[in-house]
Every structure is written in structure tokens, then in C-alpha cells.
């Protein structure tokens, strides 16, 4: 009731007579300020639309029937643009990059993934074969997209993204299995059991963890976590989906925790009191009343956590081994969609098929996270409100 009067008071204020009185005189300053502010506010919508348009625009040529060398030139913006990125920036980049990821990750890696040595070799070829040569037929490139071989740079490039997709999902599942229970339990503790002092320790720690740059988490995973986990679980490949999944889980914990905790504290106090009045103990209330009431919020938290892991680039680049293998073993190296873009975009020729395919992968990532966010936003929130307000 009190809430309602407050609401109406606020809305009254917004378009109250007070403003109308001052509006007697038309003021240019105010008028302009309002228009400018409104215009700027639309910027965020504009950016979303622009991202849609420009990421898809660069991916689009893959769907056109065939591309002449002429088009490649114009897309690459004259001869200078034809040079790879690496060359434009600095010579050392190219030279150093020649030591492919396979080598960097581990020597053991190579022995184990004999099947994958083909990929690694192809990676080497990248720098001997002049990039972008001889493969302008997008139609046949498009046909290879739904296969499992990701060999983008060779005489006969294949752009099979299935193994990348499987790798990404593998990592996502591992990280969610690790992070979701941990973060949800911790949030339940903070919301239902923790005293004031404990809260003052947990919340800032989570905020600090949220501020951790992903490259630092990646560094930690690469240098320390990988060795520790290997000595505990005794698997062969040092950098694999498991290490990457745990590291990404660490990155996803703050998101899941914060949203879950918000959902838990949003459950009205009357639920809590009613449960206690009926004779339930504190933990029963927390576990059987508060937690179920907040499930849609927790669901949203997990969705956004998945979105974070799905698009995470730096941790994937540093801690997963980056070999496009297609199997379900959690202890083999994987290559995620985002990591593929991050690793290869800097070395492709502008306007080349490989370039377009990388943008296609980007479009997939974008669509996926957009949908996840939309579900979390509309479906879950609506349900949560309904449940809490009992309508």
C-alpha cells in the first residue's frame, strides 16, 4: 500500500503541474537539451544494430556464389591491404607466431594428438603457403563448414566448425558443472545464513573476482592451475578442456553469484516469516522456500554464466590447448569458437574466405549470446515476478 502511494507520487512528479507551469514559456535551452539527451540515449540501440549489420556484412560474402579476385582486392582495400595484419604491425609477430599454438601449449600435446598432427602441420603451412591464394570459391568453402575438419590454411582449406562447436560446448558444460553449484551455494549462504560480518567479506571478494582481467585468470590457469590439476588427475595433455573449463568457471562465478543473490534477496520477507511461523527451521526455509521461489532468477544466472563462458576468448586462448579435436573426453585439448577468432583473425587476409568464415563464427557467437540474454531477460524475469507477487 505504502509502495503504491510512493509509485503514484513519483509518476505525478514526472509529469506534474510543476513542470507544466515552467513550460509556459518555451525555452530553447531545455528543448535542445532534451533532444540531445534523447538522441544520445538511443546510441546503445544504434550500437546493437550496427554490430548486427557490420559483423554480418563481413560474414556475408561466404554465401554469395563466387567471388572474383577483383572483389577480394576491393575488400582488402588496395595492394597494401592485401598484406596480412601481422606484416603491417610488425615483423616479429609473424616470426614468433610461426611457433604455432600446438608447440607453445606442450610438446606432449603433439605426441598424443597424432590425429591432430595434421592440423598442426597445416598451421605451419600457413606461413609457407602465401595466405589467401587459390581459394576463392566460396561455394565449396561453404560446403565444408558443416564438417569436422578445421584446416583453414592449406592448399585445400576446410572450414569445418563442428569440432569448434563441440569444443565450445564441452568447455561450457565443464565450467558450469564447476561454477554453478559453487556460486549458487555461496549465494544461498550469503542470502540466508551469513551474518553481517561474513557478508562484508564475501561480497567485496566476489566484486574483486569480477574485476579480475580474464587474461590474468588465463595466466594463472596456464602457469599454475594446469600443473596442479595434472599432478592430481594424471592426464596426458597438460592444457585441455578440463583446465580451461575450471578457469572459465572462475571467471563465471561472480556473474552467477551476483544474479542468484539478487534473486534470493528479492524473495519477499513475508515468505520467510510465513515459513518460520509454520514451524520450519532456518535451513528448511532457505532450502525449501527461498531457493525454489528464486529458481527463475537462478536459471537466468546460469544462462548469463553460459554466455560469459561461451564468448570468453583470452582464457580459451591460453589454457585450452587450442587443438580442434572432436571427441567427448574432457582431458583432451579443445579449440573454442571465440579462441579461433582471436588466434586467426590477426593473420588472415582481409576479404579472404577464411576472413569471412571467422566473421561467420562471430555472427554465430553473437546470435547465441543475444538469444541467451533475451531468454534471461523476458521469459525468466516475467516468471520470477509472477511467482514472487503471486499473480
Partner 1 sequence: MIKSFKKNIKGILIEGLTLSSAVVIIAIVVVMVTVIVIGGKNQISWEFLTSFPEDGMTKGGIFPAIYGTALLVIIMSIAAVPFGTITAIYLTEYAKENSIIAKTIRFAVRTLAVIPSIIYGLFGLGFFIKFVGTTMDSTFLGGHLKWGQPNILWASLTMALLTLPVVIVSVEEALKTVPDDLRAASLALGATKWQTIWKVVIPGSISGIMTGTILAVSRGAGEVAPILFTGVAYYVATLPASFSDQFMVLGYHIYVMTTQSANVDKTLPIQFGTTLVLLALTFILNISAIILRYRIRKKKIN
Q: Restricting to residues 217-276, name those near partner 1 by CB under 8 A.
A: 217-220, 222-224, 250, 253, 257
- Interacting span for partner 1 (CB under 8 A) from 159-167, 169-177, 262-270, 371-379: 371-379
Measured from the Cβ of residue 258, the count of other Cβ atoms closer than 10 Å reads 18
Of 110 and 147, which CB lies nearer to partner 1 in the complex structure? 110
In whole angstroms, the minimum distance from the beta carbon of 338 to partner 1 comes to 5
Place of cell 586467426: 344
Question: How far from 46 is each of 43, 50, 227, 327, CA to CA, in Å?
Answer: 5, 6, 45, 41
In whole angstroms, the minimum distance from the beta carbon of 19 to partner 1 comes to 6
DSSP 8-state symbol, 315: H
Report the alpha-carbon distance of residue 153 to residue 354 in Å, rounded. 8
Q: Using CB under 8 A as the criterion, what x/- string covers residues 275-294 for binding partner 1?
A: ------xxxx-xx-------
In whole angstroms, the minimum distance from the beta carbon of 155 to partner 1 comes to 25
Of 187 and 326, which CB lies nearer to partner 1 in the complex structure? 187
In whole angstroms, the minimum distance from the beta carbon of 329 to partner 1 comes to 23
Q: Which of residues 295-354 bind partner 1 (CB under 8 A)?
A: 304, 307-308, 310-314, 317-318, 338, 341-342, 345-346, 350
Does 371 participate in binding partner 1 (rule CB under 8 A)? no
- Asked whether the beta carbons of 347 and 131 are under 8 A apart, the reply is yes
The greatest distance separating any two alpha carbons of the chain, rounded to the nearest whole angstrom, comes to: 81
Q: Which of 87, 99, 111, 137 binds partner 1 (CB under 8 A)?
A: 99
Of 48 and 118, which CB lies nearer to partner 1 in the complex structure? 48
For 360-386, b/e burial (b = at least 16 CB within 10 A) is: bbbbbbbebbeebeeebeeebeeebee
In whole angstroms, the minimum distance from the beta carbon of 358 to partner 1 comes to 8
Phi, psi (degrees; rounded to nearest 5) at 237: -80, 125
Q: Which of residues 10-69 bind partner 1 (CB under 8 A)?
A: 10-11, 13-14, 18-19, 22, 27, 29-30, 33-34, 36-38, 40-45, 47-48, 50-51, 54-55, 57-58
Report the alpha-carbon distance of residue 187 to residue 294 in Å, rounded. 12
Q: Which of 139, 143, 181, 328 binds partner 1 (CB under 8 A)?
A: 181
Q: Which of 186, 301, 324, 380 binds partner 1 (CB under 8 A)?
A: 186
- Asked whether the beta carbons of 306 and 365 are under 8 A apart, the reply is no
- Asked whether the beta carbons of 263 and 296 are under 8 A apart, the reply is yes
Question: How far from 92 is each of 12, 99, 104, 105, CA to CA, in Å?
Answer: 65, 12, 16, 20
How far the first Cα of the chain sits from its last, in Å, is 16
Q: Look up residue 163 and give its three cell numbers.
A: 569440432
Q: Which of 153, 365, 380, 384 binds partner 1 (CB under 8 A)?
A: 365
Strands 158-159 and 150-151: antiparallel
Q: Which of residues 108-147 bind partner 1 (CB under 8 A)?
A: none
Does 88 participate in binding partner 1 (rule CB under 8 A)? yes
Does 87 participate in binding partner 1 (rule CB under 8 A)? no
Does 3 participate in binding partner 1 (rule CB under 8 A)? no
Of 224 and 328, which CB lies nearer to partner 1 in the complex structure? 224
Does 169 participate in binding partner 1 (rule CB under 8 A)? no
Amino acid at each position: 500500500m505504502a509502495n503504491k502511494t510512493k509509485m503514484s507520487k513519483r509518476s505525478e512528479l514526472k509529469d506534474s503541474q510543476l513542470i507544466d507551469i515552467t513550460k509556459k514559456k518555451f525555452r530553447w535551452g531545455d528543448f535542445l537539451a532534451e533532444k540531445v539527451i534523447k538522441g544520445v540515449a538511443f546510441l546503445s540501440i544504434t550500437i546493437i544494430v550496427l554490430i548486427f549489420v557490420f559483423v554480418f556484412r563481413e560474414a556475408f560474402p561466404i554465401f554469395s556464389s563466387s567471388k572474383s579476385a577483383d572483389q577480394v582486392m576491393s575488400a582488402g582495400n588496395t595492394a597494401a591491404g592485401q598484406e596480412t595484419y601481422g606484416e603491417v604491425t610488425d615483423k616479429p609477430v609473424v616470426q614468433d607466431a610461426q611457433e604455432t599454438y600446438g608447440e607453445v601449449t606442450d610438446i606432449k600435446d603433439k605426441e598424443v594428438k597424432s590425429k591432430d598432427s595434421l592440423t598442426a602441420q597445416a598451421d605451419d603451412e600457413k606461413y609457407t603457403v602465401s595466405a589467401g591464394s587459390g581459394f576463392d570459391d566460396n561455394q565449396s568453402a561453404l560446403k565444408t563448414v558443416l564438417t569436422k575438419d578445421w584446416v583453414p590454411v592449406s592448399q585445400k582449406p576446410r572450414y569445418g566448425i563442428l569440432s569448434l562447436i563441440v569444443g565450445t560446448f564441452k568447455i561450457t558444460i565443464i565450467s558450469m558443472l564447476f561454477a554453478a553449484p559453487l556460486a549458487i551455494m555461496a549465494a544461498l549462504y550469503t542470502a540466508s545464513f551469513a551474518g553481517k560480518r561474513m557478508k562484508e567479506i564475501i561480497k567485496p571478494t566476489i566484486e574483486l573476482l569480477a574485476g579480475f582481467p580474464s587474461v590474468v585468470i588465463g595466466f594463472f590457469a596456464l602457469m599454475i592451475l594446469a600443473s596442479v590439476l595434472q599432478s592430481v588427475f594424471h592426464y596426458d595433455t597438460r592444457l585441455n578442456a578440463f583446465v580451461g573449463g575450471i578457469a572459465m568457471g572462475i571467471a563465471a562465478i561472480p556473474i552467477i553469484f551476483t544474479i542468484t543473490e539478487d534473486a534470493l534477496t528479492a524473495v519477499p520477507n513475508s515468505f520467510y516469516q510465513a515459513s518460520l511461523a509454520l514451524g520450519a527451521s532456518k535451513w528448511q526455509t532457505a532450502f525449501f522456500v527461498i531457493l525454489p521461489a528464486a529458481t527463475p532468477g537462478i536459471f537466468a544466472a546460469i544462462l548469463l554464466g553460459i554466455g560469459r563462458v561461451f564468448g570468453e576468448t583470452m582464457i580459451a586462448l591460453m589454457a585450452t590447448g587450442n587443438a580442434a579435436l572432436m571427441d567427448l573426453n574432457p582431458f583432451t585439448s579443445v579449440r573454442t569458437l571465440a579462441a579461433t577468432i582471436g588466434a586467426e583473425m590477426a593473420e588472415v587476409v582481409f576479404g579472404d574466405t577464411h576472413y569471412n568464415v571467422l566473421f561467420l563464427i562471430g555472427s554465430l557467437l553473437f546470435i547465441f549470446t543475444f538469444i541467451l540474454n533475451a531468454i534471461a531477460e523476458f521469459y525468466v524475469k516475467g516468471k520470477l515476478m509472477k511467482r514472487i507477487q503471486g499473480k
